[in-house]
Amino acid sequence: MDASQSSRRQFLKVFGTAAVVGSLAPEVWAKPKTTSLTILHTNDVHSRLEPFPMDGSRNAGRGGIVRRATLIEQIRNEQPNVLLFDAGDIFQGTPYFNVYKGEPEILAMNRMGYDGGTIGNHDFDGGMDNMVTQFGKAAFPFLIANYDFKNTAMNGRTEPYRVFKKDGLRIGVFGLGIQPEGLITKELYRETRYLDPIEVGNEVAATLRNDKKCDYVICLSHLGYQYNDKTVSDRVFASRSRNIDLIIGGHTHTFLDAPVNVLNQDGLPVLINQVGFAGIYLGRIDLMFERGKAKMATEGKAVDVKS
Amino acid sequence: MRFPKTLLIPVLTLLITACQTGYHLTNQAYSRVQVDSLAAPADSGMARFLQPYSQQLGQTMNEVLVESAVPLNKARPESALNNLLADAMLQYGQQKLGQPVDCSHLNYGGIRTNLPQGPIRIGNIYEVMPFDNQLTLLTLKGSMLREFFEYFIGNQAEENALIVGGVRVTIKNNLLTSIEFTNGKTFDPNQNYTVLVSDYIANRGGGTAFLKDAVRRQDFPITIRDVFIDYFRQLGKSGKPINPTTDGRITIQ
């Protein structure tokens, strides 16, 4: 036993009897503490509340909230720390949206315990006033850092980011939306100002990492996975980013077999994932953490993704 | 037990410092869960939640708008269905948009199926127009309007068919030899006219790149599907079945 261990035991002994810190578990000091986090995610569900009809088409019987709800519940029963996110385009795609304007989509997400979502271009399809009405029914925050809603009905109804705390872990989550111009009818997005996602994304990520002391930083993105031209995509953003660990993407309806690693400005991998559309799949990422700083600069970063 | 204050402060400082070192990632795993009957049974609570929405939706989709005495099929160069749908857009534009609308245009490929003989339900209209394309009013110089129409009868367009409302046209060798407006206006290549189109077409989705030089563009947040539903519902108010026929608005010489 070396001197530091000896003195630590001395402290623990002291703590055990100190009423002021009595609620803190002493074993966090005694050995490296590990914890886990399970991230579940969807994107571009497009009002697919019911599974695709059993008409012999490729996706017949897939998707739908009644089975997704069971799956999420099962995972919550098995895992202590679960976060559930959506990367936008909750609305539009089935007559449910045309008739109910998004209410059952949002209420179903409440029931499944979504922790946050970002805004997709089709979420504007009912107009800004409808967005206010329907998003107002959400029990979870809409996170978007690069839409300035100041001169719209949505002003003050979104947050750029939120810090989630799970078993001592601090998980910073922010959202990025796609350029509405040329994609969304102007009457629908009105005076929404689109801000550069790379610039804003890096600012927010730095805030989460440095000021908010987040252990893990997640971007919910509706930028799209990849384009043939220079349009900002998740891959482009990842390569020009810092301080982001995971991008949960949407918009391009990309079915990734497994998440993809892209190196960021610091040469560290950013994990990008997207699970197609319509809730056909539920994405799941299981993360293990250990208390304290990584021994090497890259430790805890360059870890293979096992599927 | 009494505790010296001098010892407590450094202890707390150490504890806070230890907490601030945070966590680092040591391992990660990924899986993608297909949501189907093999993966999970239905959640009964969620099923109960959805049931009233789904039931009412079924009723909405089953609403009979009008009865048709004949099957209504899309066809080239002209059909009763083609004309009816273009007229629906024109009438909506003239009555509800508060803008002078000279004519309307619908892309042939945008009509996805035919309408049956007998009751026409909202669900049928969803099948005819599953897309959420919206109305756009373009102001075009006469010469561009002619170029626009000719694009859909010429070989450039994917679907070689012209569907219009508010105009009668004569086609010879894939070119227009006459354009007559039903509102009495005379065609002049140098005058401006308004044409109601799908925003898909206005966005050059059909390949009509020259529309970027339109005099004016106004977008309206109403889907063409809702325009059709509105129109068929109005037709049904008389209580009599419709029996639409072609009116020769497209003449090929």
Task: Indicate the number of domains in chain B.
Answer: 1
Q: What is the ipTM of this complex?
A: 0.85
- When pLDDT is averaged across residues B179-190 and rounded to a whole number, the result is 97
pLDDT in tens, B208-251: 889 999 999 999 989 999 999 999 999 999 999 999 999 999 99
Helix axes A65-78, B44-62, angle to 10 degrees: 170
Spell out which residues of chain B touch residue A257, defining contact as CB-CB under 8 Å: 32
Q: For residue A85, what are the β-bridge partners?
A: A41, A116
Mean pLDDT score of chain B, rounded to an integer? 89
**H or E segment and range at residue A97:** helix A95-100
Chain A contact present for B27, CB below 8 A: yes
Q: Tell me, yes or no, whether B54 lies in a domain.
A: no
Q: Tell me, yes or no, whether B1 lies in a domain.
A: no
User: A215 and B23: CB-CB below 8 Å?
Assistant: yes
pLDDT at A4 over 50: no
- Sign of torsion, CA A122 A276 A196 A170? positive
User: B30 and A258: CB-CB below 8 Å?
Assistant: yes
Cα(B226)–Cα(B235) distance, integer angstroms: 14
Cβ–Cβ < 8 Å for A219, A248: yes
User: A71 and B35: CB-CB below 8 Å?
Assistant: yes
Burial class of residue A79 in the structure, from the number of CB atoms within 10 Å of its CB (0-12 exposed, 13-18 middle, 19+ buried):
middle
Closest by CA position to A282, among listed A83, A77, A93, A121: A83
B132 is in which domain, residue-wise? 59-252
Spell out which residues of chain A touch residue B29, defining contact as CB-CB under 8 Å: 285-286, 305-307
Residue type for position A236: V
Cα(B107)–Cα(B110) distance, integer angstroms: 5
Q: Tell me, yes or no, whether B20 lies in a domain.
A: no
Structure tokens at B215: 């005099």
Q: pLDDT band for position B11 (50/70/90)?
A: very low
Cβ–Cβ < 8 Å for B212, A198: no
Cβ–Cβ < 8 Å for B43, A70: yes
How far off is chain A from B228, nearest CA to CA, in Å? 14
Q: Tell me, yes or no, whether B27 lies in a domain.
A: no
Cβ–Cβ < 8 Å for A180, A134: no
Interface A–B counts its CB contacts (< 8 A) at 195
- Annotated domain spans of chain A: 32-290
Burial class of residue A26 in the structure, from the number of CB atoms within 10 Å of its CB (0-12 exposed, 13-18 middle, 19+ buried):
middle
Cβ–Cβ < 8 Å for A149, A212: no
Q: Tell me, yes or no, whether B81 lies in a domain.
A: yes
pLDDT in tens, A99-137: 899 999 999 999 999 999 999 999 998 899 999 999 999
Q: What pLDDT score does A295 carry? A: 58
User: B22 and A293: CB-CB below 8 Å?
Assistant: yes
Q: Name the residue with tokens 């040591």.
A: B26
Chain B contact present for A79, CB below 8 A: no
Residues 6+ apart with CB under 8 A from B252: B77, B170, B171, B172
pLDDT at A150 over 90: yes
Class of domain A32-290: alpha beta
In this prediction the pTM is 0.74
Cα(A85)–Cα(A143) distance, integer angstroms: 10
Residue A74 backbone dihedrals phi, psi, to 5 degrees: -60, -45
Closest residue to B30, CB basis, from A108, A111, A284: A284
> Which residue in chain B has the smallest CA separation from A128?
B221
User: A67 and B47: CB-CB below 8 Å?
Assistant: no
pLDDT at A301 over 90: no
User: B29 and A285: CB-CB below 8 Å?
Assistant: yes
- Where helices occur in chain B by DSSP H, the ranges are 5-20, 44-62, 80-96, 122-128, 142-153, 199-202, 224-236
Chain A contact present for B1, CB below 8 A: yes
pLDDT in tens, B141-171: 999 999 999 999 876 555 568 999 999 999 9
% of chain A surpassing 70 pLDDT? 85
Chain B contact present for A59, CB below 8 A: no
Q: Tell me, yes or no, whether B137 lies in a domain.
A: yes
Q: Tell me, yes or no, whether B23 lies in a domain.
A: no
Burial class of residue B222 in the structure, from the number of CB atoms within 10 Å of its CB (0-12 exposed, 13-18 middle, 19+ buried):
middle
The domain that holds B142 is classified in CATH as 3.90.780.10
Q: Tell me, yes or no, whether B169 lies in a domain.
A: yes
